[in-house]
A and B are shown apart, each in its own frame.
Chain A
């Protein structure tokens, strides 16, 4: 058996070393290498998917001793929760490389950082050893810092610094929790499968570990009031950085919430479930209102991420609270699918804003007007993605949010007020569409070019998948459901 998981994780790293070694190459070839490597990585993840996921535990596990003295090993594998996120990540990276093939400023360093980031992202989702997970988790942070600081917009230094310090402060409590789980396990190990099977901590120790983990993942997700780094980072990041940040890296938070908090300290999570639920509800509503107040398109989409990720937190909290396995599976199915949908939809939206900004050098909604006549492909693409984002049936977010709300109604009916968020996002997207694409055409933009081939290739897969997941979610839900239905705790 080929170790496809490891090969896929480290292929981008090999690519990065390759580019580093060939620093005399012209920009075009460097971007071609980036596209080729990320394309191969995408194929690798599809192969992983085709190999199939077993119903219980982890599949395709690859394991090598690393630090046997302290019980740490290189362990990777996938289950129905991580596999969709792995697919999503490799797809978004591939499209980002296509979209970014225009970057002229230090293309070598850009491609190297993106490839490093891809290895870190795939590693975070597939790691089955807590140290390994932490390593990938932090490497992604460093790469993203340099991405924002190196290729961002006007105020990039400050935003990058804020991002780095905020998320490092956020991730160190996780280290504390990992150490606690390690010292609590018997025999001492960092094997996440062992921790999931026999949660090592109980009582007050488990609660402290849970609080530390919740802090980490709340910063990453982000959950109100720990979200303040997100708008700053998004606004200043280059379009490619925003897509990866929103599409892939925010999922580290919610994935960790499921993998670590829910699976490793289930009893403590049940006790704290109401609090987490409340944070999720507040995040969902706050995100929507904050988005409503924005004039900057990127900032608006960044805040809708807070809203959408809030629904994921609600779903996970519901899964922790309920004792009914069917409802738990529904809530988790919805949460995992919501992560995927958010990656597709928000990825598309950030690409579109990036394309708009490339043409107009502004992101201020009030500067636009009537662009649907000038750039119809861009306009309709945006409208489709915006409708998906506001949860229109038939598009990607609907089946996910529907399941989350369904489970919420059955378990904690009060939390259904989060549905208010959908109403507000509907309002704000309609407002944005009318300001940017409808009405009288702003003279300045007449003659603006519509999407070129590169941009269409970037967007088409995302838009098609948004429709595919919306109309027929079962092809991806089946894999998720097999795992969530078999979870024991």
Chain B
């Protein structure tokens, strides 16, 4: 029990951070709430780093401290720090500003819990907790668009959450246990295994915005402030995908999960990019792009258990995705929501333009950027597990994605004589510079990650 608490130190620090930040906000000091949130996140990251290499579980095997969950913390906590900087820049000074930080850290805590889940109850807890925080975040501006988005999000989440809890009861019926470790008992009960699997796919598919459970995402991202959209497209999504990896690593293949996951991958990649192709609102475009990118994550999930590259691929791509996606959103915060707002940016703001091009090309998967290394490992994992057809479809979608992202790059280099005066925003510049360093750095020095994943 004592060692359990030591192993949970990062989670405990985050939880305490939430509590103290909330107290600070009650005392009407949003600056203090900001500082507490950032300090808790950074401190928790610092305490996670020495745990690298551990592979154990706590609380009677219900929560895992393994490669995936440790890396989830190392990726998601800094991602939340960057998101908070963006929020501060966009919403600084608004009413109840501190509460946003509290909610952000709470959702991050839920995502971290998901990534280490080893028990169906933790899974349900993570999905619900992350949902509750997210509704409030989306509705924060209290205008019509945000309210509508949050309402849709809420209804969708309630239904999928209910389906998930209902379906998971079949697993409990089959195994008599809520632990993932006991899922192997389902190998001779295929019907129960499949029913539970479908429920999990619905619940986590909604959380990670996979087609066909994605409908809420574009509306929610567009209704929410841009910085919140950036956060939602990264942290809860990765948490849910890692949770899926935890589930399937114990699920017997007889339930057909590799095929089910690969079908979701095909749907998400293809539909995500096709829908992105017709957007004129960049936030919606990036929302659909993040749906497609979630599909790419699944290429590693199908390799879990059969390819030794699956876990490294998930982690490297998650880190790459955080850097390039947050970077792209940060730049959108400076330019504006619509495609036409990008016109001439590349000519008038050279550094900003180059950075945006790098983020977008990395999202396509052009070497030597982070997105390339990530996708490369994903493809390798899927091929090693015999899913060549899936990789072929992923490759075709990568070509499609080029068309999607070029729609943003092309206007950036058009002539635009209206002097584009962009306000200098120091926090946003910090975010995109850091993202840029990681987008290039992970591409060139992926070994720094790979060598530690083991």
* B145 at the A interface (CB under 8 A): no
State whether B395 touches A175 (Cβ < 8 A). yes
State whether A142 touches B366 (Cβ < 8 A). yes
Q: Which residues of A contact B372 (CB under 8 A)?
A: 135, 138
* B121 at the A interface (CB under 8 A): no
State whether B447 touches A168 (Cβ < 8 A). no
A158 to chain B, nearest CB (A): 10
State whether B367 touches A135 (Cβ < 8 A). yes
B375 to chain A, nearest CB (A): 9
Give the docked Cα–Cα distance between A173 and B393 (Å): 11
Number of interface residues of B (CB under 8 A): 32
The interface stretch among A61-69, A191-199, A388-396 is A61-69
Question: With A161-B406, A175-B379, A183-B383 as given contacts, are A169 and B450 in contact (CB-CB < 8 Å)?
Answer: no
- Contact mask for chain A residues 56-74; partner B; CB cutoff 8 A; 1 contact, 0 none: 0000000001111110000
Q: Which residues of A contact B366 (CB under 8 A)?
A: 138-139, 141-142, 168
- Contact mask for chain A residues 161-203; partner B; CB cutoff 8 A; 1 contact, 0 none: 1001100110011011001101100000000000000000000
State whether B392 touches A176 (Cβ < 8 A). yes
State whether A150 touches B395 (Cβ < 8 A). no
Give the docked Cα–Cα distance between A303 and B437 (Å): 43
B437 to chain A, nearest CB (A): 15
Give the docked Cα–Cα distance between A168 and B402 (Å): 8
* B167 at the A interface (CB under 8 A): no
- Smallest CB gap from B350: residue in A: A23
State whether B391 touches A176 (Cβ < 8 A). yes
Give the docked Cα–Cα distance between A149 and B403 (Å): 15
Give the docked Cα–Cα distance between A135 and B361 (Å): 13
Question: With A67-B450, A70-B450 as given contacts, are A182 and B380 in contact (CB-CB < 8 Å)?
Answer: yes
Q: Which residues of A contact B403 (CB under 8 A)?
A: 161, 165
Give the docked Cα–Cα distance between A478 and B379 (Å): 42
B359 to chain A, nearest CB (A): 13
* A131 at the B interface (CB under 8 A): yes
B352 to chain A, nearest CB (A): 14
Which secondary structure dominates chain A's binding surface? helix
* B410 at the A interface (CB under 8 A): yes
State whether A135 touches B368 (Cβ < 8 A). yes
* B312 at the A interface (CB under 8 A): yes
* A402 at the B interface (CB under 8 A): no
* B166 at the A interface (CB under 8 A): no
Which one of A23, A66, A169, A182 lies within 8 Å of B399 (CB-CB)? A169
* A482 at the B interface (CB under 8 A): no
Task: For chain B, residues 288 to 314, give those with C-beta under 8 angstroms from any C-beta of chain A.
Answer: 309, 312
Q: Which residues of A contact B312 (CB under 8 A)?
A: 69
Q: Which residues of A contact B391 (CB under 8 A)?
A: 176, 179
Task: For chain A, residues 422 to 472, give those with C-beta under 8 angstroms from any C-beta of chain B.
Answer: none
State whether B450 touches A149 (Cβ < 8 A). no
* B384 at the A interface (CB under 8 A): yes
State whether B361 touches A66 (Cβ < 8 A). no
State whether B350 touches A131 (Cβ < 8 A). no
Q: Which residues of B contact A70 (CB under 8 A)?
A: 309, 377, 380, 450
Q: Which residues of A contact B379 (CB under 8 A)?
A: 175-176, 179
Give the docked Cα–Cα distance between A173 and B388 (Å): 12
Which secondary structure dominates chain B's binding surface? helix
Q: Which residues of B contact A66 (CB under 8 A)?
A: 447
Of the four ranges (under 10, 10 to 19, 20 to 34, 35 or more), the interface on chain A belongs to: 20 to 34
Question: With A23-B350, A135-B367, A161-B406 as given contacts, are A67 and B446 in contact (CB-CB < 8 Å)?
Answer: yes
Give the docked Cα–Cα distance between A66 and B444 (Å): 8
Which one of B368, B413, B450 lies within 8 Å of A150 (CB-CB)? B413
- Contact mask for chain A residues 130-155; partner B; CB cutoff 8 A; 1 contact, 0 none: 01001100110110000001100000
Centre residue among B380, B383, B384 by max chain A CB count within 10 A? B380
Give the docked Cα–Cα distance between A131 and B368 (Å): 9
- Smallest CB gap from A149: residue in B: B413
* A157 at the B interface (CB under 8 A): yes
* B343 at the A interface (CB under 8 A): no
State whether A139 touches B447 (Cβ < 8 A). no
Q: Which residues of B contact A175 (CB under 8 A)?
A: 376, 379, 395
Give the docked Cα–Cα distance between A27 and B398 (Å): 38
* B451 at the A interface (CB under 8 A): yes
Q: Which residues of A contact B447 (CB under 8 A)?
A: 65-69
Q: Which residues of B contact A172 (CB under 8 A)?
A: 395, 398-399
State whether B402 touches A179 (Cβ < 8 A). no
Q: Which residues of B contact A69 (CB under 8 A)?
A: 312, 447, 450-451, 453
State whether A142 touches B399 (Cβ < 8 A). no
State whether A165 touches B383 (Cβ < 8 A). no
Give the docked Cα–Cα distance between A157 and B361 (Å): 17
- Contact mask for chain B residues 347-381; partner A; CB cutoff 8 A; 1 contact, 0 none: 00010000000000100101110001000110110
- Contact mask for chain B residues 19-48; partner A; CB cutoff 8 A; 1 contact, 0 none: 000000000000000000000000000000
State whether A173 touches B399 (Cβ < 8 A). no
- Smallest CB gap from B403: residue in A: A165
Task: For chain A, residues 62 to 102, give those with C-beta under 8 angstroms from any C-beta of chain B.
Answer: 65-70
A236 to chain B, nearest CB (A): 14
Q: Which residues of B contact A165 (CB under 8 A)?
A: 399, 402-403, 406
Give the docked Cα–Cα distance between A164 and B360 (Å): 14
Q: Which residues of B contact A179 (CB under 8 A)?
A: 376, 379-380, 383, 391
Show 9 A/B contacts (Cβ-Cβ < 8 Å), sorted by A. Answer: A69-B447, A138-B367, A138-B372, A139-B367, A168-B366, A172-B395, A176-B392, A179-B383, A180-B383
Interface residues of A (CB under 8 A from B): 23, 65-70, 131, 134-135, 138-139, 141-142, 149-150, 157, 161, 164-165, 168-169, 172-173, 175-176, 179-180, 182-183
Sample of 6 more A-B contacts, CB < 8 Å, known A67-B446, A135-B372, A168-B366: A67-B450, A69-B453, A131-B367, A150-B413, A165-B399, A179-B391
Give 10 closest A-B pairs by Cβ, nearest first. A135-B367, A69-B450, A172-B395, A67-B447, A169-B399, A135-B368, A138-B367, A179-B380, A179-B383, A168-B402
